[in-house]
Amino acid sequence: MKAQPRDAASAPPSSGSGSLPPAGRVPESDPPYVNPLAEPPILPESPTGSLLWRVRGMIRTLRPHQWVKNLFVLAPVVFAKHLTHPSIIKSALGAFAIFCLLAGAIYTLNDLVDVKADRVHPVKRYRPIASGRVPIPVAKVMTVVLVVVALGGALIGPFEFFLTAVAYFVLNLAYSFRLKKVAYLDVGCIALGFVLRVLAGGFATKTPISGFMVACTALLALFLGFGKRRHELAGVNAAKQRAALEAYSPRALTMALALTGVTTVGTYLAYTLDSTTRSFFQSEYLWITTIHPLFGVFRFLQLVAGRPKAESPTQEMLRDVPFVLNLVMYVAEVIFIVYRLRPS
């Protein structure tokens, strides 16, 4: 007599079967709530389930390491030679803080919207909301509080700055609920978000912004966005993790990366050689700094292709020693040339 086949539905899942974790926890075969690709924490992890453990999860949800993107708010001040004006610096730092609060609200909102997709992602399922470390009702309250505080603070500054902050938040609302599902338009929204950061920095400090700065910002953001999509497309279950990936192709994204990378560096070089730029900075040497954007573009492409298991190439570049050193050298050279620093 042949043994009857066992019902698959009643069979216990084998270890490492790849089954999806129920909402609120991860599979028992995996280390609880630990991202295996993440760097070791500076402080030891709090006991699972404790209040401090949940608070640290709330902080992680805000993505403080991603707030470096808001440094674009300070770009107008740097290139307008205003770093030596305390009142302008104060306004710029206030604008930076407001955009950090808005960014935290937007990251939390994105994780709420993407919670189901994140639970099938090999890395994102360890995010605090997807794993259950931060309960969904708590995350909703966090979002509301951050938005109210940020926009309330924006009202203190110039009205143009407030409108830009509102536009930034509305754009990201549209992105979270609809536009991120539309291929190419999703990356365009990311680029527009960076442009709004730059405009906000100009409005907050009443600093004029050149067309070159807006163009360089938009092109660079498009380049980074296409790189992120190219990296995601190479992952497992790509379409389940992001709906827009179904309309992308590796060939089209590779061409988009090449086009935006070249035009970003070319536009920056044109800015440094422009007669108005040379006259304003009273220097003929700003073009030398073009080597750093060029290196950054090539290094980012290496990260996109060479680290397929990473959560995001834009996160990896902030951990990559050559990329960070190149960025630090670029900032130092720009400040040296723009502010005509000389040994005393």
Tell me which of 208, 238, 263 is where a domain ends.
208
Residue 44 lies in a domain: no
Residue 236 lies in a domain: yes
Per the rule left: phi > 0, alpha: psi between -120 and 50, beta: everything else, 109 is alpha
- Looking at the fold, whether 231 and 337 belong to one and the same domain comes out as yes
To the nearest whole percent, how much of the chain has pLDDT over 90?
49
H-only helix segments in the chain: 51-61, 75-79, 86-113, 115-118, 128-131, 136-154, 159-177, 185-205, 211-233, 238-241, 250-273, 275-281, 291-306, 313-319, 321-338
Lowest mean pLDDT among 11-15, 87-91, 152-156, 325-329: 11-15
- Looking at the fold, whether 65 and 204 belong to one and the same domain comes out as yes
To the nearest whole percent, how much of the chain has pLDDT over 70?
81
- Looking at the fold, whether 167 and 236 belong to one and the same domain comes out as no
Q: 52 burial class (0-12, 13-18, 19+ CB within 10 angstroms)?
A: exposed
The arithmetic mean of pLDDT across residues 67-92, rounded, is 91
- Looking at the fold, whether 194 and 65 belong to one and the same domain comes out as yes
- Looking at the fold, whether 222 and 344 belong to one and the same domain comes out as yes
pLDDT in tens, 185-238: 999 999 999 999 999 999 999 999 999 999 999 999 999 999 988 888 876 556
SS3 284: coil
Q: Is pLDDT of 72 > 90?
A: yes
Q: Which domain holds residue 274?
A: 210-344
The CATH number of whichever domain residue 144 belongs to comes to 1.10.357.140
pLDDT of residue 170: 95
Tell me which of 158, 191, 208 is where a domain ends.
208
Q: Is pLDDT of 314 > 90?
A: no
Residues 6+ apart with CB under 8 A from 180: 186, 189, 242, 243, 244
Count of CB atoms situated within 10 Å of the CB of 249:
12
- Looking at the fold, whether 286 and 301 belong to one and the same domain comes out as yes
- Looking at the fold, whether 83 and 178 belong to one and the same domain comes out as yes
pLDDT of residue 237: 58
- Looking at the fold, whether 123 and 220 belong to one and the same domain comes out as no
Residue 30 lies in a domain: no
Domain total for the chain? 2
What is the C-alpha to C-alpha distance for residues 244 and 68, in angstroms, rounded to an integer? Answer: 26
pLDDT in tens, 58-71: 899 898 988 989 99
Q: Is pLDDT of 42 > 60?
A: no
- Looking at the fold, whether 249 and 341 belong to one and the same domain comes out as yes
Residue 170 lies in a domain: yes
pLDDT band at residue 146 using 50, 70 and 90 as cut-offs: very high
Residue listed under structure tokens 């630990």: 34
Residue 252 lies in a domain: yes
Residue 260 lies in a domain: yes
pLDDT of residue 201: 95
- Is the model more confident about 3 or about 318? 318
pLDDT of residue 134: 87
- Looking at the fold, whether 73 and 113 belong to one and the same domain comes out as yes
- Looking at the fold, whether 104 and 158 belong to one and the same domain comes out as yes
- Looking at the fold, whether 165 and 231 belong to one and the same domain comes out as no
- Is the model more confident about 118 or about 327? 327
The arithmetic mean of pLDDT across residues 270-291, rounded, is 92
Residue 17 lies in a domain: no
Residue 18 lies in a domain: no
Tell me which of 208, 238, 259 is where a domain ends.
208
